[in-house]
Amino acid sequence: MIRRKVLVIGLDGTPASCLFAEMADHFPNLYRLAHAGDFGILRSCDPPITVPAWACMMSGKDPGELGLYGFRHRPRGSYGKRELVHAGFLPRDMLWQWLGEQGGRAIVIGVPPSYPPPAIRGALVSCLLTPRAATAVAQPRSVQTLLAAVAPEYQFDIRDFRSLDDAALFAQALSALRARFRFARELARREPWDLFIVTDIGADRVQHGLWKLDGSGRWGEAVRRYYAMVDDEIGQWLAELPDDLCVWIVSDHGAQPSRGGVYLNEWLRRRGWLKLRAESGGPSAWAPESVDWERTRAWAEGGYIGRIYVNVRGREPSGIVEPRDMERVCEELREALANDFILDGGLRVRVQSYVPRELYRDSLGAAPDLLVYVDGLRLRVFEGLRSDTLYAPRNDSGRDHANHHHDGVFVAYDPKQSGRGWRGVLPITALRQCLEQQLRGDPAPFSAS
C-alpha cells in the first residue's frame, strides 16, 4: 500500500563540502529544506561514478551485486573489447518496479543507465547515455511526444561539454537545466505519480568544465551561479506541488578539484608487469594489440579510478598467471602500488588499492582484480603509455577541472515530521530502503551514522 508521494531531485556529482558550506548564503531553497528536514553526506559506492552510483541508489545493491563497475563494461575474457552499459544491465527489482508491484506509479527522468527506455508502470525518459540519433527515448510514446512539444531543446547530456569554451558551456548547461525542469514540471502536472525522480547531469558537467582552481578548494563563481539557478528551479517547482510531498535532493557522488593524472599502464610497464611487442619511444594511446600478452601479468583501465586486471590462465585468452597464484600476485601488486609509486621527480604518490571482496557483498560479471585510487581521487588514471613521465597535470581526454569524491549529498524533507538537521553519513545503498519506507508511509525513513 502506497500512502505518501515522494519527489527525488538528483544533482549529479554534487559535493557535500561545497553545497552545505554555501547554502546559507546562496541557495535559500536548499537551505530551507535541509534545516526543516535532515541533511548529510550520501556516501557513494566504489567506484564513485555516475554508472554504477545511481543504479546502486535505486536498487540498494552494491556494484559487485549489480556487476556494474563503470560506464564501460568489459566482457569476461577480453582484452580490448568494452561495451557501453545500457538499461539491460539493471536488475528487475529497481525501486520503480517494486513500486509498480505495490500498485504505485513512478515517473523517472534521466537515471542512468536507462537507455533504451524500459516500460514501467508510469513513465520513463532515458538518460545521458542516449545516443544522439536515438528515436525512442521515452516510455510510453505519448511522453516522448510531450517532451518534443514542451522542451524541444532538451539535452540528455550537455552536448560537447569538454570542448566548449567557458561561456558556451555555462549557457548550454543553463538551457538544458531550464528545459529539463520545464518538462519535469509539465509531466508532473499531467501524469499521476507516487514517486517522481529527475536527475540533472549539468551539475556534474559544469563542475568538470568550470571548477576554478583558485586554491580555496571551493567551487568558484561559475559553478556557484549554476547551483543558484538549480536552487531557483527547485523553489519554483516546490511552490506548485502539494504541501504533503516528501522531497529528497541527492547526488550520486561528490567532486573535488583535479590535479591531473598518472599513467598506470606506464608504471606497470616500468615495473615489468606489462610487456609491449615493440618498445615505442614517444607517448602512445592504449592499444591492446601492441601488448605482448604472453609475457604480461597485469594491465589497467583508466578513468577517475584505475582498474587493474591480472592476466589469468584459463580466464584471459593468453593468460599466464596461474589461478592459484592470483591472491599472491594481487598482494604483490598492492604492496608495490602502495610503496613504489614514485613520480619522475622523486615525488611519492599515495595509491590505495582494493580487491573486490573488500568492497562488495558479491562480484558478478568481470570485476576488476584491483580498484586503484590515486591521491584520494584527486589524480585520475590514464591508460596511455609515456616513456618520459608518469604524471600529467591535465586530463588526456579534454578539459577537466574536477575529479570525483565519495561524499555526495542528501537533503530529506518530510512536512509531516520535524527534521533534525545534520544527520551524518548515509551509505548510497541505504537510500532505496528509505524511499520504500517513506512511500509506504512508515515513520523514521532513515537512520544515518
| Smallest separation (angstroms) from Zn ion to the CB of 125 | 17
> Which residue's Cβ has the minimum distance to Zn ion?
50
The single residue listed with the C-alpha cell 589497467 is: 300
Is 65:360 a contact under the CB 8 Å cutoff?
yes
Nearer to Zn ion, 204 or 436 (CB): 204
Select 65 or 204, whichever has its Cβ closest to Zn ion: 204
CB nearer to Zn ion: pick between 50 and 172 = 50
Closest listed residue to residue 62, CA positions, set 409, 430, 375, 445: 430
Grid cell locating 67 = 556487476
SS3 assignment, position 11: strand
Nearest alpha-carbon partner for 207 in 365, 404, 439: 404
Q: How far is the CB of 256 from Zn ion (least distance, A)?
A: 13
Minimum CB separation of residue 52 from Zn ion in Å reads: 10
Give the separation between CA 118 and CA 437, rounded to whole angstroms.
24
Residue whose CB is less far from Zn ion, 55 or 330: 55
Q: How far is the CB of 226 from Zn ion (least distance, A)?
A: 15
End-to-end CA distance of the chain: 29
Distance CA 66, CA 429 (A): 12
Cell numbers linked to 338: 602502495
Task: Pick between residue 60 and residue 110 the one whose CB is nearest to Zn ion.
Answer: 110
Edge to edge, the sheet with strand 306-310 lists: 298-301, 306-310, 370-374, 351-354
DSSP 290-317: GB-GGG--EEEE-BSSEEEEE-BBTTBT
- What's the min distance (Å) between Cβ of 71 and Zn ion? 10
Residues contributing to the site for Zn ion (CB under 5 A)? 12-13, 50, 204, 252
Q: Which of 108, 182, 98 is nearest to 138 (CA)?
A: 108
Amino acid 204 reads D
For residue 12, the minimal CB distance to Zn ion (Å) is 4
What's the min distance (Å) between Cβ of 85 and Zn ion?
13
Nearer to Zn ion, 139 or 403 (CB): 403
63: preceding bond cis by omega (within 30 degrees):
no
Place of cell 528515436: 135
In angstroms, give the least distance from the CB of 204 to Zn ion: 5
> In sequence order, which residues have a C-beta less than 8 Å from that of residue 327 and are 6 or more positions away?
none
Of the candidates 166, 82, 137, 55, the residue with the CA atom closest to the CA atom of residue 366 = 82
- CB closer to Zn ion out of 22 and 204: 204
Nearest CB to Zn ion, comparing residues 55 and 106 = 55
Alpha carbon of 351 to those of 212, 305, 342, 354: distances in Å? 25, 10, 10, 10
| Nearest residue (CB) to Zn ion, 67 versus 70 | 70
Residue 54 Cβ vs Zn ion, minimum distance, rounded to whole Å: 7
